[in-house]
Amino acid sequence: MKVFVYFNLHKHMFSVKALEGENKGKVVAHRLFVVLQDATFKVSEAGRQRVLREQRKNVHAGVVGIWHDDNLTPRACELASTLYPRVSYNPYKGDGFVVCGTGAAMKESPFVFLRADNAEGRGYIFAVTP
């Protein structure tokens, strides 16, 4: 299923919103771990400008891809965090997702692994670089 995934600041986990099917447009799950295939990193420029103007966070950025929800997901995400570069987004520093350390723009990836850290209240994204 094609989904849009973003970090939920209230639940400290990722929200998974369906982009197709009977639940299109609805959040269908909250997960600590998410694996997406054929992923595209999305940022709404209007939403980003609202953040800059109001100095308040809102949902305007995330990752779109084919959701793989299975028992191997947590293990795959933990392994990915040691193998692949971390990707981040900061609306105050730029208009898109970048590879941490290099600052290279990240637009798409064959596989993206998302891992939430409940203790820190943060989400981490690791991507296979094309």
pLDDT 10s digits, 54-91:
988 899 999 999 999 988 899 999 999 999 999 999 99
Tokens of 104: 């290279």
- The answer to whether residue 21 scores a pLDDT higher than 80 is yes
Side chain identity at 46, as an amino acid letter?
A
- The answer to whether residue 130 scores a pLDDT higher than 70 is no
User: Could you tell me the sign of the dihedral formed by the alpha carbons of 36, 41, 44, 50, in that order?
Assistant: positive
Tokens of 93: 């520093």
pTM (predicted TM-score): 0.93
- Tally the domains of the chain: 1
Residue position matching structure tokens 């420029």: 45
Tell me the Ramachandran region of residue 107: left when phi exceeds 0, alpha when psi lies from -120 to 50, beta otherwise: alpha
Please give the residue range of the domain that contains residue 111. Answer: 2-127
